[in-house]
Amino acid sequence: MSQHDHSGFSRRQLVGGLMGSMATAGSANAAGNGSGAQDQNAAPPLTGKDPRDAYPKPPFERQPQDPPGLASKMVPRPDHGEESYRGSGRLAGRKALITGGDSGIGRAVAIAYAREGADVAINYLPEEESDAQEVIALIQQAGRKAVAIPGDITDEAFCQQLVNEAATQLGGLDILVNNAGRQQYVESITDLTTESFDKTFKTNVYAMFWITKAAMAHLKPGAAIVNTTSVQAGKPSAILLDYAQTKAAIVAFTKGLAKQLAEKGIRVNAVAPGPYWTPLQSSGGQPMEKVMKFGEEAPFGRPGQPAEIAPLYVTLASAESSFTSGQIWCSDGGTGTF
């Protein structure tokens, strides 16, 4: 992991590195001055789309799915960066394990990591095999090693097996992305069963603990852990009582573990998505009436697409962020929750 002091690593370099990894939804025409000469004092041309219009806006059609849901059945189909993400070698030679890597944010991160030069293992439920195989093919197309490890992370023994198998097949492990999550809305606490409450915590909190604990046998100085929390941690919805609690727990876990692992040279951070268009929503994460209007309350007037958040996971895993740990980076379309 490269080291940078305050005199050798400028803000311009950091911003440049971040922007260099961004997946572009499309290209804009640069405005010329007609003379063929470039005015060094002129502002650079805009190169991105208006974020309000970059992706589809609600209303969306009804599209209920049984959990855990498939990205391939969503309308419109989410953009995970399949066509847009361009890597620049920022994770060359790294070895990453991503839970929930078949669809949604995990899928976008897997694609981005592979195109940045990392070998990637993904975990997912057996019911998500069709989505997962698409991701495996995309990782391989990027010229990287792809490892598929299906299984239920609510089982402690499997979590240990998952980490060990990933490390064995990848030849090591230096990036862990705890991303898999369960979200099922319930209108009232009187209707929230102990079974459902327990499964949400097992998926979102216990599994993160078990997997991270097992990973400690493999992570070395310079390694990075990136957890997925949510804006729900600070702004809980009434119908997501158990889910919001787990996301708040992830924030505390991230900040506490970052302090604990600093002496080992391992960084721990988290990303807090706002409304993102993933199967988590259409497979019971929200009432269907809200899915049809999903994201309309964000200042940009639409949900985010997984391709728009993957660059944060790249940056937090890269050596360029070697002094960043214990942080929560939010992407919520302008609400500014964190």
DSSP-derived secondary structure for 59-74: --------TT--GGG-
Q: Is 243 a catalytic residue?
A: yes
Q: Report helix angle 241-261 to 194-201, nearest 10.
A: 30
CA distance to 146, 264, 295, per residue, from 75 (Å): 27, 45, 14
Of residues 142, 146, 135, 143, the one with CA closest to residue 104 = 135
Neighbours of 150 (CB within 10 A): 16
Of residues 251, 261, 265, 254, the one with CA closest to residue 322 = 265
Edge-first strand listing for the sheet containing 267-273: 146-150, 119-124, 95-99, 175-178, 224-228, 267-273, 328-331
Residue 25 DSSP symbol = S
The answer for residues whose C-beta is within 8 angstroms of residue 321's C-beta and 6 or more apart is 224, 267, 269, 315
Q: Report helix angle 241-261 to 207-215, nearest 10.
A: 20
Residue from 55, 124, 206, 243 carrying the catalytic annotation:
243
92 token code pair: 């060359």
Q: Which residues are catalytic?
A: 243
